[in-house]
Structure 1
Amino acid sequence: MPEFNYKEELSKIPFDPGVYRYFDETGEIIYVGKAKSLRNRVSSYFLKSSQHDRKTKRLVSQIRRIEYTIVNSEWDALLLENQLIKQLQPKFNILLKDDKTYPFICITHERFPRVFVTRNLDRKKGTYYGPFAQLRSMHALLDMFKALYTIRSCQLPLTKSNVEAGKFKVCLEYHIGNCKGPCEGLQGEEDYDVEIEQIHQILKGNLALPQQYFKEKMLAAAEQMAFEQAHAWKTKIEHLSVFQSKATVINPKIGNIDVLTIVSDEEAAYLNFMKIKQGYMVATQTIELKKKLDESDTEILAMMIVEMREKYGSEAREMLCNIRPDLEMKLEVNVPQIGDKKKLLDMSMKNVMYFRREKAERREVEASATTSKKDRVLIRLKTDLQLKTLPRHIECFDNSNIQGTNPVSAMVCFKEGKPSKKDYRHFNIKTVVGPNDFASMNEVVGRRYLRLIAEDQPLPDLIVIDGGKGQLSAACDALKGLGIYGQVPIIGIAKRLEEIYFPEDSLPLYIDKKSESLKLIQQIRDEAHRFAITFHRDKRSKGSLVSELEGVDGVGKVTATKLLKHFGSVRAIRESSLETLTPLIGLDRARKVRAYFDAMAQ
């Protein structure tokens, strides 16, 4: 191949906006870039070599041919660059890949459409929603659809001719009420399509249509005195309300808007994307991009604006960013300084900063071969829960009141990731009458930390409450009463889905079920539960023994408790002699106790 004469090549390049491509000596494309002025941008690689970093100098040294494509605007150049990078995957570009990792929800274009999860996109087959970076939120949607609607789960070709010919029979899903049997013509297309349209609306972030539909059906059933049907429609409204309450509400007045923030270091860029639809956050993803050259934040941001909007199918007319991209866009890009939009930008920045810190801490752990498993788990837990310090001292509370009797609470203590049994504590509920988990939690948390403060003992690094938002709120109220709320991180763990709740945050955190940190929290929670149950069982057992002794004529609760405390069990009392009993309860009561057990033995 003849020697590359860059000066001759540069003289041929126009000053128009466009996309340029660099080839190496084998003819392979090694870099794709965009430019407002092709000649000025390409010239900068060769004429300002002293200002380049090592990676860029290496790129320039391998260039043997230049090609370019002229376009109408810099925005068009950005779109073309995005497509070429995905298609060609040049080794010096930040790699953008067509999303085949995260799943989508597909609603098919067929008679009696199906709703299912897929990772393969074929726009001809259906409408796709996603991708879903958080799988749990996707499954929550699918579970809700199953509770609200009767959409078929089969893959039968329900053409009109097939159904009329009676080719299919209803399956178990019909008999258990999950499907209305369109395969046998038991449900019409119009009725089915009403539910499909509502699923479309929910996936678009619009809950108003299904809410209104369910409400009208409920009122109509109530007017016809069909109260069971009315209750069924009311239940559907409640399902939708529960889902809506878990969605992150930004501000309905904000409407449809995207948010994209970026921070970077020498090695990588970190970005957080949020898609806001009618005031609800319907999608969010935080990603890391490894830098190939010394790309600026504005360059990366411009590229990722196109990528994330295409990936999540956004049609919002406005995007909020923490910096302004250095090009004109067919999109309003703002850097808000005040108001709700600034709060939204701050939320995105908070996510991306935590993500960056998490990545740095993970690299530290991986780089240190000497890091013990104990420290690794604690570092992981610190990262997952976004704590400021390592949780070396963790305390967990649990209540126990089986069938409302003998309410008790227990606290277990873990230090350095291991149980510290000498620090375990039992609590008899003193101020609460009857089974009231919230009030009991408030009492025992308050008693525990009032004592630590009075004794000038160190507070834990993390408090775990076995329960959801209600128990967590009660515990927080106790900390507020002591003036230490905010000084100690506190979380609640709900059993059913292993959701982690934070104070004043309605949206739970879902830690990867394979994560060592979640396993540690579960171990602590299970130990607290075991300790509380054991104490409760002992108390119930002791209570039943006291009741048995109270059956003896002349023996009351005080005497019965005294005997049990001394002998430990009814069996030991039964086997005791008159001489042993007399010093404890007197001769008269001792004779009555002996007479009672002697009579039982006959």
Structure 2
Amino acid sequence: MNPKLRQLREKAMNLPLSPGVYIMKNKSGEIIYIGKAKALKNRVSQYFGSDRNHQEKVRRMVSNVDDFDYILTSSEFEALVLECSLIKQHQPKYNILLKDDKGYSYIRISNEDWCKISHVMQKNDDGATYIGPYTSSWFVKNAVDEARKIFKLPSCNKCFPRDFRKSRPCLNYYIKQCCAPCRGNISLSDYRERVDSAINFLKNGNVGSISELEKRMEIASENLEFELAAKLRDRIAAIKRMADKQNVMATRLAEQDIIALMQEGNDACFSVLRFDENRLFDKEDFLLSDIGSPETARSEFINRYYSMRDKIPPMIMIDGEVESVELVEMWLSDLAGRKVHIHIPQKGEQMRLIELAKKNAAEKLAQSRGHKGSDTSALGELAELLGLKKVPEFIESYDISNLSGSFNVAGMIVFRNGKPYKSSYRRFQIKSFVGQDDYASMAEVLERRFKEYELHKGEEGFGTLPDLILLDGGKGQVSAVRPILERLGYGNIPLFGMVKDDKHRTRAITGDGGEISISSKRSAFTLVSTIQDEVHRFAIGYMRTTSKKKSFTSSLTSIDGIGETRAKALLKFFKTIQRISDADIDELMNVPTMTRPAAEAVYKHFHKRDN
């Protein structure tokens, strides 16, 4: 805890109820956070009061604050403008900061007879020809890849004619995406003609390139050069196919940006899809950590991102709520010199683009953490569906299993980052009553689980608190467990039930307020179904093992001198009934608690026929 907390709170309580900017500093006088406020006293005093509702990032920041300054402004909008300017100037540690690595990109045509086309980030004095500069490296890379595929140009590092016929062609030749000069079967003039056509395509785009090729095809046909005309026809078809693929990414809005956030644990990623002239022309991803609440993070991200960009579109689509959205729109409009709107789409084409941006963010975030993008995407969908404050890293699920009221047991499984985390699986035998009562069983299991947490904090398994609890069952199970969590002080952990249909398949998720359909969210549906199937498998497997052991124990307790304790000791020592029956008296005597009369009784029981 910060030793100066009381002193800082007293200073904050003396601030005016006016709009302004506050500047937090550490012991060295370094600025570590800059924020804006509509009422400085109310906002700043919140930092130095109870930290119960603070995000972890805020707690760490407050623990490092030694003093703060403030600047009064005439309006909240002026405070926002000043905040953005100061953050850009000082780059404080606890504000969202974006690394602006947006350099220029070029298309490079090497200076040699068998020249190659490539995408580069720098223009060097090497005799090569450069087309550019372009601001979007993503656009240039995709354009070069398209040109290579359409005109079947090599993308390998082979040098021609040095490497003619020295190795077999690569896969691109066999899938008709390379003319394979390495085979030595294409003339230099034909190769250079392909390169010139590709350069024309890159400079003039689809329409100009198609027009030029169509003219050449007509001339070839008139001159009865049918083979050349057929080649040109194929290139035109390839360009049109590529254009059709691009049209999949076309929008009815000529200019707009799509922004989506994906979180996993303390890490997050913003993905931005930029559209101009109705088509996607750029994509950017930003990896961040400890961003706090999504609403605040989106607001800060927009402020930081567009303070680094000259071009601001009239429409910005985003995947969720933005803190102080009206102020942010005013600031963007002031920067752009025209009206800028921020919109949260709910359906249709824009919603499809938001989902695409989320998928990109999930994939980038998963790569950085060594996971699969599909797992991150599914967790994000689930968090959005259930209204969770953050994407659940640890999910615990519980199921009860019994055999007509006997052998009453429960299984607890853990999914970490969307995958089974089997080292944290746990099993329970119901102890508080005899018979079948799923509600009481679930309540007992959850109470025992969280009491174990108090004993094993920080350890694997019981020592880790879940971010989400899923019970196999409906509202009854949730209602039975909720009071237990609240009584033990864990009522803030999200708790839901997994509801099955009459065919024992996952149908919905239920909480305190009714059922939530998950069929529309494919990734989340698959994840929940997998969790429900896994916890059912684990619980019923434990029940069958327990019933089998108890059946074996019962068969042994029918022997004179063998009680339940000795029966369990025999099973633990020999593992199976068959091995017990094969054992001689001396081997049976090796079992703890066994006496010679007891060993002889067991031996005689399994060797009656021999006797």
Q: TM-score, normalised by structure 1?
A: 0.41
Q: TM-score, normalised by structure 2?
A: 0.41
